[in-house]
Structure 1
Amino acid sequence: MKLTEMLAQYEVLLDKKDQLAQDTKDNNAAIDKLKAEIAETMIDEDIPSQGYGDYVYSLQDKIKYSKRGEAELQEKGLDFFEVLREQGFGDIIKETVNANTLQSTMKAVADENDGELPPELDEIVSSYEMTDISRRKSTNKALKRAKGE
């Protein structure tokens, strides 16, 4: 297979990945909308449960909880994690490090130290080399440079 054919196939797969992500988002929205319509119909028609195929669908009352917006909390002078800890729920707080943030931070540290991590970080962060493919939208300038014009 020629390089241009591989790049074309790569483009197709990346486009498919984007389309699948959008399709999943659209599908989830359609599911949520239909669930609301089904619940409303079941309530309107006084049908608390309904069998269909191998399943029974029934109405359930649920309460969902989510963190209030940061602006609202700041307006009230509250710190979400501090309040949880004060109320004895500190054990549900999990520290996490975003993988992209770790990557960019460690790259910056290594760049400042001749490509090496300090020993303390090297003990807790592994690294490996790989060859990747960069994909950027070409501009007229880039095209002209690539063609040698």
Structure 2
Amino acid sequence: MSLVEVKVPDIGDFKGVDIIEVLVKPGDVLAPEDPLIVLESDKASMEVPAPQAGTVKELKVKVGDKVSEGDVILMLEASADSATAAPPAKPAEPASPPPPAPAPVAGAFAGKADLDCEMLVLGAGPGGYSAAFRSADLGMKTVLVERYPTLGGV
């Protein structure tokens, strides 16, 4: 069993973030992803998880301390299970992917259409609008079908 330094992970562009809560104490047995501390910046608060299983040997921080990325939070004695169980977990992951979700079924229209046109433009964007305006300029009965209730784009 070896001692591992648990450090503050990448927390963005923040320096000197306050520790508002310490969730572990020396002697606690941790599983991977167990929360260790809670950090609070001016925008949000976040929990820092344990990177691996083990036993907390020594805390290096306390409530009110300011930490940045890379600062040591605690010393963790890695458990023998985490050292031997972690490598076999990776090869087990490439199993068959979950089956894809069924595609949504489009609704069917069974009624009678009351539009008569010579040019139907589905969707718009700059090219769709140009095609619709050009066909209308040429005297064609034109219908422009847009996803949204108001036209835009040009």
With normalisation by structure 1, the TM-score equals 0.16
**Larger Cα-atom Rg:** 2
Q: Point out which structure has higher relative CO (alpha carbons under 8 A, 6+ apart).
A: 2
Report the structure, 1 or 2, having the larger helix content.
1
Report the structure, 1 or 2, having the larger strand content.
2
